[in-house]
Structure 1
Amino acid sequence: MTGKDGGAPLEPIGNSPVVILVRPQMAENIGTTARAMANGGLFHMRLVAPRDGWPQDRAWRTASGADRILEAVEVFDTVDDAVADLHHVYATCPRPRHIVKTVLTARGGAEELRAATRRGLKVGLLFGPERTGLDNEDMARADALIRYPLNPGFMSLNLAQAVMIMAYEWWLTEDGTLPRELMTNETHVATKGELENFMRHLIADLDECGFLRNEEKKPGMVRNLWHFFTRGEVTEQELRTLHGVVTELSRGRKLRQG
C-alpha cells in the first residue's frame, strides 16, 4: 500500500514507538491521528477503551489513506494492558500536575525514544482523551512526561495535532534533510571558474563604456562587484542570463553610437 501522494509504502519502519490513545472520544480524531502518525513514520496504534468502540467507519474517512494503521489497531480495556509488553512509556501532559516525574520537551522525548529503540527496546507514547487529557492514574504508568513548549496563553491542541508534533520530532531524529538548501532545479551553483569568466566579461564592458574610468577608484569598484556576486550562491543559469544582459547592453550602446 502506498501513501496518498504515491510515495513510500505505509509500512512500519524498524522499531518505532507505539501510539496509545487513551479513551479517545471521536472516530474522526482517530483517523486524523493515523494520518499524522504516517507523516512521521509511526505505524503502531493502540486504543484504550474507545468511547464508541472499534472499528468505526468514520475513522477511515479522515485518515487520508493511512488505512493500514487503522487496520492494524489493537484495542485494550486498560492502560496497564496496553503497555504491558513495552519497556518504556512516555505520557504527554498539557498541564502542570502535582507529580514528581521527569518532564521532557517533544524534541527531548523523541531523542530518548530513538535511543531506546536503537537498543531494541519497545516504547510507547500515551495521549489522553480530547477534552480532559490523561489523568494522574494514567500518568503514573509513564516513565516520564512530555510537555510541548507552546504559547502559555493558549496551549490548546486537538488529538491529531498533539500526535503530529511527536511524529515530526521522531522523524527528525534520523532525518538527513539539510536545514538550508538552495533549490537549483536544472542548473547548478556556479563554479569559481564560471564566475571568473562572467566577471571578465562584465569588467571588460564596464571598461569599454567608461564606467570604470576613474583609475583610482576602479580596484575598489571591481572588488565590490566581486563581493556582490560571491555573497550568495549564484547559479550557472543566472550567470548565463547576466552574460546575455551585458552583451545586449553593449550591443545597444554601440547601435546608439553608430
Structure 2
Amino acid sequence: MPSDTPQPAFVLVRPQMGENIGAAARAMWNFGLDRMRIVAPRDGWPNQKAVAMSSGAGRLLDEAQLYGDLEGALGDRTFTFATTARQRDMTKPVYSPERAMQIAAQKVAAGEQVAVLFGPERAGLENDDIARANAIISVPVNPQYASLNLGQCVLLTAYEWMRQVGDVAHETHEIGNKGDWATGVEVEKLVEHYEQRLDEAGFFWPPEKADSMRLNLRNLWSRVAMTRADIQMLHGIMRQMVRWKEKG
C-alpha cells in the first residue's frame, strides 16, 4: 500500500520507454514519493524494463495506477501542475520548480489533491494536456538544449518537493568515530601553545607588528572548525618540531 504521507501524485502522460518509467520511479522513491499514475504507456503495462531500471523501487511500480486517458487520471485532483521546458501560448501562472512545490506543499497541507504532469520523452506534453492544468512548471534550462529526460524532470521536481516538506540540512560538518568538536577551552590552549613556541622562535618580529600578528593568528584558528582529534594532532606537531629543533 502507498504510504500515508500527504503528497502530490506524479502523473506520467503517455511515457514511451519502460526504462524511463523505472528511472522516474527511482527518482520519486529517492525523495519519499510513491503516488505514481501512468497514462496510456506506449509499450503497455506492466513493463519489465521499468522494473529493472527502478533499482529497488519496484513496490512503487507495483502500486502505480494505470489510466487510459488523462481525464481519468485527474478525475479526483483539485489542482494540477504541468511541467514543460517550452513556451506555451496559454494564460496560466508559470512557476519555477521550487516555487511550484512550495505551492504544492501548501495545498497538500490544506487537504487538496495535487497532481504534477510529466510528458512523453519525444516532445513533452501536448497543448491539450496542459490545457487541463491549473499552472505550469517551467524548468529553467539551456534554451539551446531544452529537452529534459523524463527521469531527470521527475528527479528535479521530487527534489524540490523534499526541500519544502523534509528536514534538509544545507550545511553539515561530519564527525568521524575518533572524536567530536573541540571546546573553546581546548582551542584556547592550542592558541597559547603555538603563541608561546612561536614567540620563543622569534616569529613575532618586528616588535611593533607583534600584536597584529598575534591577532591574525588567533583569527586563523577561529576560522577553522576543529575536532578534539585535530587539537591533539596540532599539539603533537608543535611538540615534535620543538624536539627536533632541540636535538639539532
TM-score, normalised via structure 1 length: 0.90
State the Cα distance separating 1:13 from its structure 2 match: 5.2
State the Cα distance separating 1:185 from its structure 2 match: 1.9
SS of corresponding position for 1:173: helix
Alignment match, 2:211:
219
- CA deviations on 1:181-224 (whole Å, 9 max, x unpaired) are 22232333322211111111112212223333643332222112
Which moves more between the two structures, 161-170 or 51-60?
A: 51-60
1:95 matched to 2:86? yes
Alignment match, 1:194:
186
1:20 matched to 2:30? no
Alignment match, 2:126:
135
| C-alpha distance in 1 between matches for 2:193 and 2:157 | 53
Q: 1:51 to 1:242 in 2, by over 3 A?
A: same
Letter in 1 for 2:191: M
* Equivalent of residue 174 in structure 1, options 165, 170, 181: 165
Alignment match, 2:67:
76
State the Cα distance separating 1:11 from its structure 2 match: 5.4
Letter in 2 for 1:247: R
Alignment match, 1:4:
none
1:255 matched to 2:241? no
Asked whether the 8 Å contact 1:13–1:41 carries over to 2, the reply is no
Letter in 2 for 1:203: E
- CA deviations on 1:133-160 (whole Å, 9 max, x unpaired) are 1111111111101011112221221111
Letter in 2 for 1:225: L
Letter in 2 for 1:131: R
| C-alpha distance in 1 between matches for 2:162 and 2:205 | 58
State the Cα distance separating 1:51 from its structure 2 match: 1.4
State the Cα distance separating 1:22 from its structure 2 match: 0.9
Asked whether the 8 Å contact 1:90–1:144 carries over to 2, the reply is yes
Letter in 2 for 1:237: A
Letter in 1 for 2:6: N
| C-alpha distance in 2 between matches for 1:95 and 1:230 | 49
Which moves more between the two structures, 239-248 or 218-227?
A: 218-227
SS of corresponding position for 1:55: coil
State the Cα distance separating 1:235 from its structure 2 match: 2.6
Letter in 2 for 1:19: F
| C-alpha distance in 2 between matches for 1:177 and 1:23 | 33
Asked whether the 8 Å contact 2:12–2:120 carries over to 1, the reply is yes
Alignment match, 1:109:
100
Asked whether the 8 Å contact 1:12–1:41 carries over to 2, the reply is no
| C-alpha distance in 1 between matches for 2:56 and 2:193 | 55
* Equivalent of residue 120 in structure 1, options 111, 125, 128: 111
SS of corresponding position for 1:21: strand
Alignment match, 1:44:
35
| C-alpha distance in 1 between matches for 2:4 and 2:214 | 55
Cα RMSD after superposing both structures: 1.6
Q: 1:78 to 1:11 in 2, by over 3 A?
A: closer
- CA deviations on 1:45-92 (whole Å, 9 max, x unpaired) are 111111122111121111101011110111111111110011111111
State the Cα distance separating 1:118 from its structure 2 match: 0.4
* Equivalent of residue 150 in structure 1, options 128, 141, 146: 141
State the Cα distance separating 1:19 from its structure 2 match: 0.9
State the Cα distance separating 1:236 from its structure 2 match: 2.1
| C-alpha distance in 2 between matches for 1:117 and 1:177 | 19
